[in-house]
């Protein structure tokens, strides 16, 4: 019985060796990654514009993280913890960004439906452009831009206008199916 166990062990080892030696070589550098979703690309582009993609960014006006949220906006979105905890948690920053996009979409839905894929004030209006502009200056400033005679709309402390964000991010088109 002892010899039978040993011979089975040797046979298993030999079969394993045969399988390994005949198996195709696996190259670790050839692993294919999945493509990011439209929403992930959009959020990445906003993060690059806002903070150069730096999770721990804090500007001279106190804006925080990848998406440069004000403490007031974070509080309005239900975040009531420390700035340090926010800066150290990329997932939390992404979660707050998605929540912000959803809130702004609900507020701006009538304008998005009315102007979607139309040119207004020289800008091709898309959901992504409108929501990026709302991220920059708030939904109220986007509503004001649609309703007043100015072409640029609100201009933030860094010199960036609502219109600039609408133009820059309109290329992302319709992202709401991703939220």
The first and second tokens of residue 93, run together, are 């920053």
- List the beta bridge partners of residue 4: none
Long-range Cβ contact pairs of 87-93 (< 8 A, separation 24 or more): 87/55, 87/56, 87/58, 88/56, 90/55, 90/66, 93/55, 93/65, 93/66, 93/67, 93/69
pLDDT at position 82 is 96
Domains of the chain: 35-178 (1.10.530.10)
pTM attached to this predicted model? 0.79
Span 70-112, pLDDT tens digits: 999 999 999 999 999 999 999 999 999 999 999 999 999 999 9
Question: Rounded distance, CA 177 to CA 179, Å?
Answer: 6
Span 5-47, pLDDT tens digits: 444 445 544 444 444 455 555 455 667 778 999 999 999 999 9
């Amino acid at each position: 019985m002892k010899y039978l166990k040993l011979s089975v062990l040797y046979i298993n080892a030999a079969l394993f060796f045969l399988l390994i030696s005949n198996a195709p070589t696996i190259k670790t550098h050839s692993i294919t990654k999945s493509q990011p979703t439209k929403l992930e690309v959009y959020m990445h582009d906003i993060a690059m514009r806002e903070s150069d993609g730096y999770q721990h960014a804090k500007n001279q006006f106190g804006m925080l993280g990848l998406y440069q949220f004000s403490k007031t906006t974070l509080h309005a979105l239900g975040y009531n913890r420390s700035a340090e905890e926010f800066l150290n948690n990329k997932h939390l920053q992404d979660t707050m960004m998605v929540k912000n996009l959803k809130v702004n979409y609900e507020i701006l839905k009538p304008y998005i439906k009315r102007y979607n894929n139309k040119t207004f004030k020289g800008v091709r209006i898309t959901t992504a452009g409108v929501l990026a502009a709302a991220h920059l200056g708030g939904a109220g400033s986007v509503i004001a831009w649609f309703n007043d005679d100015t072409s640029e709309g609100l201009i933030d402390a860094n010199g960036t206008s609502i219109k600039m964000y609408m133009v820059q991010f309109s290329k992302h088109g319709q992202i709401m199916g991703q939220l």
